[in-house]
């Protein structure tokens, strides 16, 4: 499956890695989901009163999320395989972690002042060659988008 970024996705039968991006506030948030409503469904919980994007943005950047009117949500579909769409999230979380680490490295290399505000845990699958390849493809796609914005 080719990894093509989508701005928003409603497709609920596949899993995603997603990146929230604010140019004005220089913030990146990386996440994963297999929500039946796709990344849009997951986005609703992120921006709610107790949402993790909201909390991390307000804690890290120091302003209310509503003032960040330029957030863009990029969705990167994962392969259409059971290990990615199951209720067990360890495969998605490993890819999410590797994408975040890749983006930290890439942003440093680009001398970017962007802050990665997501907080992601490692697990035993981090380092799997198959998952690394997926994470690298997602990272490259996002960096190419980032360079154009």
Task: Give residue-wise pLDDT tens across range 32-86.
Answer: 999 888 888 888 888 888 999 999 999 999 999 999 989 889 999 999 899 999 9
| Threshold 0.75, pTM exceeds | yes
Residue 115 resides in a domain = yes
Residue 46 resides in a domain = yes
Total tally of structural domains belonging to the chain: 1
Residue 7 resides in a domain = no
Residue 2 resides in a domain = no
Lowest-confidence pick of 7-11, 54-58, 82-86, 110-114: 7-11
Domain of 37, in residue numbers: 16-148
Residue 73 resides in a domain = yes
Residue 54 resides in a domain = yes
**Would strands 72-77 and 27-33 be described as parallel, antiparallel, or unpaired?**
unpaired
Closest CA to 119 of 40, 57, 63: 57
């Amino acid at each position: 499956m080719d990894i093509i970024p989508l701005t928003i996705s409603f497709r609920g039968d596949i899993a995603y890695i997603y990146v929230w991006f604010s140019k004005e506030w220089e913030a990146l948030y990386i996440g994963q989901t297999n929500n039946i409503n796709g990344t849009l469904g997951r986005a609703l919980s992120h921006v709610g009163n107790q949402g993790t994007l909201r909390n991390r943005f307000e804690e890290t950047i120091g302003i209310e999320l509503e003032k960040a009117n330029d957030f863009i949500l990029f969705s990167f579909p994962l392969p259409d395989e059971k290990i990615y769409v199951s209720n067990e999230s360890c495969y998605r979380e490993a890819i999410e972690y590797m994408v975040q680490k890749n983006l930290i490295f890439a942003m440093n290399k680009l001398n970017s002042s962007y802050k990665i505000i997501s907080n992601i845990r490692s697990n035993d699958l981090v380092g799997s060659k198959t998952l690394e390849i997926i994470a690298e493809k997602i990272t490259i796609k996002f960096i190419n988008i980032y360079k154009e914005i």
